[in-house]
Amino acid sequence: MSDTETPTEELESMTEEEKAMMAEWEAMSGDGEGESVDATPEFDAMMEDEEGGTRILNQEEIDSLLGFDDEGATGEMSGVMALINSAMVNYERLPMLDIVFDRLVRLMSTSLRNLTSDNVEVSLDQVSTVRFGDYMNSIPLPAMLTVFKAEEWDNHGLLVTDSALIYSIVDVLLGGRKGTPAIRVEGRPYTTIETKLVEKMVQVTMSDLSSAFDPLSPVSFSLERMETNPRFATITQSGNACVLARLRVDMGDRGGRIEILIPYATLEPIRELLLQMFMGEKFGRDSIWENHLTNELYKTEVHLQAVLGEVTIPLSKILNWKPGTRIIFPTRPDDWLELRCGDVPMFRGPVGQKQEHIAVRIERYIEPNEDDDG
């Protein structure tokens, strides 16, 4: 290419690929020039947003929308997570459960002291609502899972004893020294002796749980089986809501956790009792007012009408009525008359006369939904 060639001649001498590449370079250089010239992109974006344009959410706004805001983690759920968990029933809607588990803590403290002959402190850490499948996946293994049945309610529950409490109770019942932590042997199944000792503690716990529910509804919990694999301790569907009570058992320097899981389906027979705010509540009923209202209703005057006869007449004939027109009813002297309160038939009986007055003797009560043409 010589020095005398013009730019137009240069473009004509290029191939199609070279022209496309040059156009791409010009577009890229144009973007770069636009970025260098535009010194206030944030101001332009804000102006577009005020004029109704679309705006990209930042990370904090996205977390708040989805319900993953760290600041609100301890409070109520919001956003999409609130919608996902909207079907979960909050245990606070069953206020009596708090009283039941408080009674259980006091009863267990006494029972475990008698069992171990040691100073035992039982405390209630938390009562919450979980889905059964989520809880089973979160159980730290190894643990011992006890499936028990509520005989009167005809349903099941779960009692989970963690590894720390298992070795602690075994050490205490077999005469371990005080002040020394229990020796844990991980990586092996629990022996028969360990299982029997833990079963004895579980029996005491279930007996206390039955006593805690006694003021509300008598129920007896019976041990069905003990498992170490959560897959074999399934008592309800994974998506069902359950009440989870976490108890802490301390025996000096030793201790562990007991977790009681009761599905809402198990508590359904006494759901109305658990909705009470205090023991003996009658859900707003006032017996004094009920008795007063009943006595006043008995004094109410009711007007009864005796229907001597009924006949259906066309409107055209009624329009032709004149003084002296006779209306003949199909009622005979031996027919029973109907007594009505307003438009509601109440009684039937024969008609007669008493002290120069027409009287009706009530012989039969008419049911409200009775279809009686006679």
- Cα angle: 372, vertex 315, 310; to 5 degrees: 30
Polymer length of the chain: 374
Q: Rounded to whole angstroms, how far apart are CA atoms 178 and 182?
A: 10
364-365 and 344-354 strand pairing: antiparallel
Q: Is residue 79 in some structural domain?
A: yes
Q: Rounded to whole angstroms, how far apart are CA atoms 311 and 92?
A: 64
* Last residue within a domain, chosen from 32, 55, 84: 84
Predicted pLDDT at 159: 92
Categorise residue 322: left if φ over 0, alpha if ψ from -120 to 50, beta otherwise: beta
Whether residue 79 is found in the same domain as residue 97: no
Question: Measured in whole angstroms, how far is the alpha carbon of residue 155 from the centre of its chain?
Answer: 17
What DSSP element (H or E) covers 16?
helix 16-37
Q: Is residue 11 in some structural domain?
A: no
CATH of the domain at 161: 3.40.1550.10
Q: Is residue 9 in some structural domain?
A: no
* Last residue within a domain, chosen from 274, 297, 332: 274
CATH of the domain at 350: 2.30.330.10
Whether residue 77 is found in the same domain as residue 24: yes
Predicted pLDDT at 286: 61
Q: Are the C-beta atoms of residues 266 and 155 closer than 8 Å to each other?
A: yes
Whether residue 73 is found in the same domain as residue 105: no
What DSSP element (H or E) covers 351?
strand 344-354
Whether residue 176 is found in the same domain as residue 200: yes
Whether residue 76 is found in the same domain as residue 204: no
DSSP string, 195-263: HHHHHHHHHHHHHHHHHHHTTT----EEEEEEESSGGGG--S-TTSEEEEEEEEEEETTEEEEEEEEEE
- Cα angle: 325, vertex 328, 329; to 5 degrees: 140
Q: Is residue 293 in some structural domain?
A: no
Whether residue 73 is found in the same domain as residue 180: no
Q: Is residue 36 in some structural domain?
A: yes
Whether residue 257 is found in the same domain as residue 127: yes
Whether residue 232 is found in the same domain as residue 207: yes
What is the count of structural domains for the chain?
A: 3
Here the tokens at position 197 are: 């000792």
Whether residue 24 is found in the same domain as residue 147: no
The CB density around residue 19, as the number of other CB atoms within 10 Å, is: 11
Q: What is the pLDDT along the chain (374 residues), one digit of tens a residue?
A: 445 444 555 555 566 767 777 777 666 655 544 444 444 444 344 444 455 556 777 777 777 766 555 444 444 555 566 655 555 545 557 778 888 889 999 999 999 888 888 888 898 888 888 888 888 888 888 888 999 998 888 889 999 998 888 888 888 888 766 655 555 556 677 888 888 888 999 999 999 999 998 888 888 998 888 888 888 888 888 888 888 999 999 887 788 889 999 998 888 888 888 777 665 545 455 678 888 888 888 888 888 888 888 888 889 888 888 898 888 888 887 888 888 888 888 888 888 888 888 888 888 888 877 655 44
Q: Is residue 6 in some structural domain?
A: no
Predicted pLDDT at 228: 85
With CA atoms as reference, report the closest residue to 135 among 230, 2, 229: 230
Q: Is residue 328 in some structural domain?
A: yes
3-state secondary structure 46-103: HHHHHCCCCCCCCHHHHHHHHCCCCCCCCCCCCHHHHHHCCCCCCHHHCCHHHHHHHH
Whether residue 141 is found in the same domain as residue 234: yes
Predicted pLDDT at 183: 57
Whether residue 64 is found in the same domain as residue 109: no
Q: Is residue 262 in some structural domain?
A: yes
Whether residue 215 is found in the same domain as residue 133: yes
Q: Rounded to whole angstroms, how far apart are CA atoms 96 and 103?
A: 11
* Last residue within a domain, chosen from 66, 84, 102: 84
Q: Rounded to whole angstroms, how far apart are CA atoms 250 and 208?
A: 17
Predicted pLDDT at 154: 87
Residue-number span of the structural domain to which 171 is assigned: 91-274
Predicted pLDDT at 158: 92
Q: Rounded to whole angstroms, how far apart are CA atoms 254 and 119?
A: 11
With CA atoms as reference, report the closest residue to 104 among 221, 6, 224: 221
